[in-house]
Chains A and B, each alone.
Chain A
Amino acid sequence: GRTHRKGSSSAPLLAQRGHTRPDMFRNDYDTDVTTFSPAGRIHQVEYAIAAVKQGSACVALKSDDFAVLACVMRKESELGSHQEKIFKLDDHMGIGISGLIADGRVLCKYLRTECLNHKFVFEAPIQVGRLVKQLSDKSQVYTQTSEKRPYGVGLLVIGYDETGPHVYETVPSGNYFEYIAQAMGKRSQSARTYLEKYFKEFKTMELGNMIEHALKSLKGASEKPLTKANCAVAYVGKNTPFTVLADEKLAPYMALVDDEKDESKEGKSEEKES
């Protein structure tokens, strides 16, 4: 079976030295995205990936029938609103974003238009992997064009099509991978560790339990305690269009996660899915 990919393969140097801020380096080959470094890397792309890591966390996981997405929604100040991070693309798929949110919004608009166009021309929903590939090809262009920069946002795409549920991660470099479960953004390693612990159970897991696991994995990735106001969940699957749970609709699941009930009691307290 597949396990998730360990971290980012594109910045081993940073990981070795334990730095998180790439501009602490003096790199002569990092001004331009069209310049390779002597080590064979394109630093601008790596810096873009670092921008994704600065964003607040997102997690996604899938079973045989459903895919679930959960995000931490950061607030700029007490007076402001939470940053929306989950976007519906079509009835059968949606995304969670981390990094430069403005770039994310622009990509979201592009993806929604592509979904609509495909549906118009072919009278069928676009396959998740196809759209992800299209987006990645678009992202790649900005790793090879001067006067432009890569998109500073990573997406976790969840969707359901003829080949079942899917979880994809896209990165600024134009790479994409499919996962059983993945996390990205700040402190995402703790979420990933949690998911690695339980991922073997996901295959046949019920939707309610999946949402619980998603939220529990997110707990470690959030600066503040998770409440129904500062996180959001979305799911999609068999006979289930893409649905977002936020605020009041999320409250029952938050209660399950807060109470730290032991595993054996989780089945009884699970909320019924509408």
Chain B
Amino acid sequence: MSMLLKAAPMEQAKQARQWSPYVDNGGSVLGVAGKDFVVLAGDTRMSYGYSIASRNVTKIVKLTDQCVLASAGMQSERHTLHKVLKAKAIMFENTHQKQMSTKSMSQCLGNTLYYKRFFPYYTFNVLAGLDEKGVGAVYGYDAIGSFERVPYVCTGSGSALATSILDNQVLFKTQPQNKRDLSLEETVNLVKDVFTCISERDIYTGDNAEIFVITKDGIKKEVFKLRAD
């Protein structure tokens, strides 16, 4: 009996550092849909641990004349995913003599992500474009392709910081008596403010924010300066 009580403690298995195929390059991305426009923005900082690998790497790709995609997470995954989707968009256009609709693109992206369900693209995507009626559409994704059309979404390292602000300022969740639709200018200014706020507290977001605005007249891009620290 006493021998059992004096049994030696279990030895801890020595934990060697397992190599991971994934790395987080940080950064934030957000999209807001309007009545006849959509705004998609992403910062341009690429981090590696506590270092900055680059201050000027884009997270955004144009897929059609009315649809753009932004992805936060791992930069190499994002680059490849964007290339793959762009190739799919061109193939569609060649076959059907017209560009993919935003809805179709949203499904295509979801399928592409799920295709790698058991070795996922480490990307947190936001797709933005105009739907067939010309109304702004924003889709938020997880890494394996679960997606949903939403009025706005923020993903990436600063998502927690931004989402509550957007809840308050876009859907007026805390002040339903003031609920109204935002104009294009108001939305762009809000997006700029949100990115400024994220950059204050999130070390992985900063440098510059690329802001894409899509209307029926096309896609316009603006670069907005953020904190560089």
Contact = CB atoms under 8 A, between A and B. Distances in A.
Contacts of A88: 94
Interface residues of A, number: 6
A25 interface: no
Interface string A91-127: 0000000000000000000001100100110000000
Give chain A's interface secondary structure class: helix
A254 to B, nearest CB: 23
B100 to A, nearest CB: 15
Contacts of B91: 112-113, 116
Give chain B's interface secondary structure class: helix
Contacts, number: 11
A113 B84 CA distance: 13
A85 to B, nearest CB: 15
Nearest to A117: B87
A120 B94 contact: no
Contacts of B94: 88, 112
Interface in B88-107: 90-91, 94
B216 interface: no
A125 to B, nearest CB: 12
Nearest to A123: B83
11 contacts: A88-B94, A112-B91, A112-B94, A113-B91, A116-B87, A116-B90, A116-B91, A119-B87, A120-B83, A120-B84, A120-B87
Interface of B: 83-84, 87, 90-91, 94
Q: 5 nearest interchain CB pairs? A: A112-B94, A116-B87, A120-B87, A120-B83, A116-B90
Given A116-B87, A120-B83, 9 more contacts: A88-B94, A112-B91, A112-B94, A113-B91, A116-B90, A116-B91, A119-B87, A120-B84, A120-B87
